[in-house]
Amino acid sequence: MSATTVPCIGVDGAKSGWFAVWRSANGFGFDLYARAEHLVAMHADASCIAVDVPIGLSDTGSRAPDSLARKFVGGRRASSVFSAPVRGILDAQSQPEASARHRQIDGRGFGAQAFGILAKIREWDTLLRADANARNRVREIHPEVSFAAMNADVGLVAPKHSDEGHAVRLRLLSEHFGESPVQALLAAVPRRSAARDDIVDALAALWTAERILAGRAGSLPSPPAEDSAGLQMAIWY
């Protein structure tokens, strides 16, 4: 596999790694990467890599991007914005350990669903802290924030796993990318690589990455904050 030269990449977590999508001459290119560092290395020339994962963590207390994102999305979909962990539990090896340490540091527990993505958060945190070039190019997104922005800043009502919700998200993406390329991508990606929701969310990330590169994107908060490790702490849309 050779490195690609494309300006923007959209990334979403999949069961077996990170699903990435980008524009190509024939619509979209895509691939699945086992590790974040593999993805970043293969797209070393990309100007913006937008990924659905918390980047930049608080030492104590809730992150401003999470609470602002819930307000931006509003309604039932606000609950899809999970609270990011505090930095001090990133190395926890079990959910009970993570919850106990989180409560000790911050007064809040840390649930099983949140623990399920802790390793993925740690993966990007480790990479970005060690790689200044990647820090300049990688940005955090949340698909529901991006879809709300596509929808005239109005959060969607139907959940993404429902047929109605899937159809609404496809319509919004098709208005930007074109219906035929979006449908072709959905048909081309093997389900062992990414579920339909992963593909749709990666396209939302790509939509945001292109807005960032074009200077049209917003961020929560605005301007972005920075955490104690020097990582940008903002959700872009």
| In the predicted structure, residue 1 carries a pLDDT above the cut 80 | no
Domain that holds residue 44: 8-58+121-236
CATH number at residue 184: 3.30.420
* 115-147 confidence digits (pLDDT tens): 999 999 999 999 999 999 999 999 999 999 999
* Parallel/antiparallel/unpaired status of strands 232-236 and 219-226: antiparallel
pLDDT at residue number 2: 47
Asked, for residue 101, whether it belongs to a domain, the answer is no
In the chain, the percentage of residues whose pLDDT exceeds 70 is 98
Q: Note the pTM of the prediction, 2 decimals.
A: 0.95
Asked, for residue 145, whether it belongs to a domain, the answer is yes
- In this prediction, residues 54-77 reach a mean pLDDT of 95
pLDDT at residue number 79: 87
- In this prediction, residues 180-198 reach a mean pLDDT of 97
| In the predicted structure, residue 170 carries a pLDDT above the cut 80 | yes
What φ, ψ does residue 103 adopt, rounded to 5°?
Answer: -65, -35
pLDDT at residue number 4: 61
Q: How far apart are CA 48 and CA 136, in angstroms?
A: 8
* List of residues 6+ apart from 215 with CB closer than 8 A: none
In the chain, how many domains are there?
Answer: 1
* 67-91 confidence digits (pLDDT tens): 999 999 998 888 889 899 999 999 9
Please provide the average confidence, as pLDDT, over all residues in the chain.
Answer: 95
Asked, for residue 69, whether it belongs to a domain, the answer is no
Strand partners, 10: 21, 50
Asked, for residue 211, whether it belongs to a domain, the answer is yes
Asked, for residue 203, whether it belongs to a domain, the answer is yes
pLDDT at residue number 15: 86
DSSP 8-class letter at 190: -
Tokens of 232: 């940008």
pLDDT at residue number 172: 98
- In this prediction, residues 214-232 reach a mean pLDDT of 98
Give yes or no for a contact between 116 and 53, defined as CB atoms under 8 angstroms apart: no
Asked, for residue 63, whether it belongs to a domain, the answer is no
pLDDT at residue number 70: 96
- In this prediction, residues 34-56 reach a mean pLDDT of 97
Asked, for residue 90, whether it belongs to a domain, the answer is no
Q: Which of 3-7, 182-186, 233-237 has the lowest mean pLDDT?
A: 3-7
* List of residues 6+ apart from 227 with CB closer than 8 A: 56, 57, 58, 59, 87, 233
Asked, for residue 112, whether it belongs to a domain, the answer is no
Instruction: Name which of 63, 64, 53, 116 is nearest 87 in CA terms.
Output: 63
pLDDT at residue number 3: 59
* List of residues 6+ apart from 170 with CB closer than 8 A: 179, 182, 183, 200
